[in-house]
Amino acid sequence: MIGISVILVFALIFWLDIWTHHGERIMVPRVIGLSYNDACRQLEDADFNVVLQDSVYDDKSAPGEVIDQNPKDSTYVKESRTVFLTINAFMPRMVVVPNLKDISLRQALVTLEGLGLKNYQVKEVPSEFNNMVLSVSYNGKHLLPGTRLPLSAFLTIEVGKGNNMDTLLVDSISDTGNDIVIIDENEPTSSSSNTAEPSTNQTEPVRPESEPDFFD
């Protein structure tokens, strides 16, 4: 009776190994670079399950192309294992552009790069407001605050380039009596221009031609 039970146990274990394919491993094929439909077809033909895990935008890959897979290719796994795929999005991610006008160029660039907009050119235009953003345009059109743009957008940023030739130093003043003088920073000043030179025509005391004679 005991012998029959042992035989039955071993037979059951052997049958379970066959049923669950115990110890059998198959290699995961490489599907990166294929379209999503082709990747699914190849994996399902090899008895894998497929799940679309994520989609990201990459302008260097075709829309719908598989750019990552898990497990990696050449990995040995059990049959019917699930393979998770990441594909390139069909449309780039959109972002909302805030108001960038009338702020410094440095602050505008920090804002744009924080949003992921890294394609731009800076164009300097004459303005009294040096290094201030005057406008931002995309495809030749000025952007309004709240405009939605793709991350691949190429922007043109116009910033002011101040001309200091006619700039007056309002803080540089000289008080000479009742007059306030505004000094031009480009006009050289002389220390003698506002300082009165001492007069060389000083009055000499009048001396008599001869001393009076007090004694006879």
> Digits of tens for pLDDT over the chain (216 positions)?
666 766 766 666 656 555 555 557 899 999 999 999 999 999 999 999 999 999 988 878 899 999 999 999 989 998 889 999 999 998 888 999 999 999 999 999 999 999 999 999 999 999 999 999 999 999 999 999 999 999 889 999 999 997 654 433 333 333 444 443 333 444 454 444 444 445 545 545 545 454 554 444
User: What's the topology of domain 94-164?
Assistant: Trypsin Inhibitor V; Chain A (3.30.10)
Q: Evaluate whether 121 touches 157 at the Cβ level (below 8 Å).
A: yes
Give the model's pLDDT for residue 76.
93
The verdict on pTM exceeding 0.85 is no
Q: Tell me the H-state helices in the chain.
A: 2-20, 36-45, 105-115
Give the model's pLDDT for residue 58.
84
For the chain, the domains span 23-88, 94-164
User: What's the topology of domain 23-88?
Assistant: Trypsin Inhibitor V; Chain A (3.30.10)
Q: What are phi and psi of 167, to 5 degrees?
A: -75, 135
Distance CA 183, CA 167 (A): 10
Give the model's pLDDT for residue 91.
85
Paired tokens of 185? 């920073």
Give the model's pLDDT for residue 90.
87
Give the model's pLDDT for residue 138.
96
Does the fold of domain 94-164 match that of domain 23-88? yes
Distance CA 177, CA 185 (A): 22
Count CB atoms within 10 A of the CB of residue 134. Answer: 17
Distance CA 133, CA 131 (A): 7
The 10 Å CB-count burial string (b at 16+, else e) for 84-110 is ebbbbbeebeebebeebeeeebeebbe
Give the model's pLDDT for residue 20.
55
